[in-house]
Amino acid sequence: MKESNVKNLLAHIFMKNGKAVTGITNFHILGERSIPELAKYYEHKGADALILFDLSKSEEEHKLHQRIIKCLCGRSQIPVIAGGHIEGLHDMEALVDMGCNRVFLNMSKEENRDLLPEACKQFGKEHIAVCINDFTFPKEENDRIEKYAEEVILLGDNRHLYEAVRSLPVTCIPLMDLVDYQKVYVLLKEDNVSGISGNVISNTEVDLFELKDLLQMKGIPMKQQKSAIAWSEFKLNSDGLIPVIVQDYRNGEVLMLAYMNEEAFDKTVKTGRMTYWSRSRQELWTKGETSGHFQYVKRLSIDCDNDTLLAYVVQVGAACHTGNRSCFYRDLMKKEYDAIDPMNTLQHLYENAQKKKETLIDHTSVKKQAADVLYHMTDLMAEYQVSWEDVTEEIDRREKKHKEG
């Protein structure tokens, strides 16, 4: 039996007609939030991953849900697991290409059971999960799951979850309808339970960070970020604060400078969102709570004197309250230098290649000039929030147009 060392709390969303609904067969609209808003809410509340169930019946509805899933994968800072309305490998490939960390197949459909080995071969076992809502699977089906799937999502009768968990040879995620935290604790103690999902996690009244702390105190190893250095080891300024330099993790652009007290630092580490201490307002503030321009932590570093932090972040929108990408948008002094125009570099590379000037074009020169182009283009893309996925889409569009004549 495969064991799970660290436990997760996973939110789930059932999607029907582009809306979040309350269940697989109960299509009542769940609250007033859109699916992207609900996904972001769960993420900020402390969910470790998100499970998406596509309950579409028509191809048009399925395409709508695919657009939503693609949007979520592009914005989410937590893993996305998706499935439902899988008609073949092409649907699975689409989900993988969108950025889903794992795709699940519904094992109640015989065609999906037949598809499982081929999916494992094409995408790798680590990207495949299965969904089971019938706990009376024969042993040979368990053997197939163990061979071809990384994980099992368990739906169905809550009374038989324990028996189902103990009968499975792989890690599993029980989806509980009941809001019963004692059962959460008991299930998470099972070696092969990697996490819990369901209403018990998606309940809007529950702070998942607090729930993780409680479960951790009870001896359940939860997925939590921790600092390698205690706050007591930091060298603070006269106000008891430590300055934080914030950079874009992709291109190193310096975005802003702010300050943290111990509470802000602890909240930043726990939630993964940059939180500061406002010296002017004398209060805690999480970047983006008002503007929506959140900063998601990729890495926190400290300097050699332990008196300055460096944060590498995913910046949503502008970092500066003026609307500029960076707070450092005004030059006081600027030394003239020869800037490399990426478009000229690319044109030069292309023209030389066309003329087949072997004395100028070799592996090293192509590598260096391509690096110049991509380096500057990455900066430009970051400034205008263009992703590599956007670029790939544009290339695909042009290729399709070219083939169509």
Give the H/E segment covering residue 12.
strand 8-16
- Give the separation between CA 171 and CA 77, rounded to whole angstroms: 23
Q: Is 131 annotated as a binding residue?
A: no
Interior/surface letters 311-322, b for 16+ CB within 10 angstroms, e for the rest? bbbebbebbeee
> Under 8 Å CB-to-CB from 93, ≥6 apart: which residues?
122, 123
Q: What angle do CA 131, 67, 56 make, to 5 degrees?
A: 45
Q: What separation in angstroms does the CA of 338 have from each of 253, 335, 381?
A: 20, 10, 21
**Tokens describing residue 203:** 């309940």
- Which residue bears the tokens 């579409």? 56
Give the three-class secondary structure for 197.
Answer: strand
Q: Is 331 annotated as a binding residue?
A: no
Residue 132: burial class (beta carbons within 10 Å; 0-12, 13-18, 19+): buried
Q: Is 327 annotated as a binding residue?
A: yes
Q: What angle do CA 138, 141, 146 make, to 5 degrees?
A: 130
Residue 344: burial class (beta carbons within 10 Å; 0-12, 13-18, 19+): exposed
Q: Is 248 annotated as a binding residue?
A: no
- Give the separation between CA 211 and CA 222, rounded to whole angstroms: 10
Q: Is 157 annotated as a binding residue?
A: no
Q: Is 307 annotated as a binding residue?
A: yes
The binding site for Zn(2+) consists of 304, 320, 327
Binding residues for Mg(2+), as ranges, are: 303, 305, 307
* Known binding positions: 303-305, 307, 320, 327
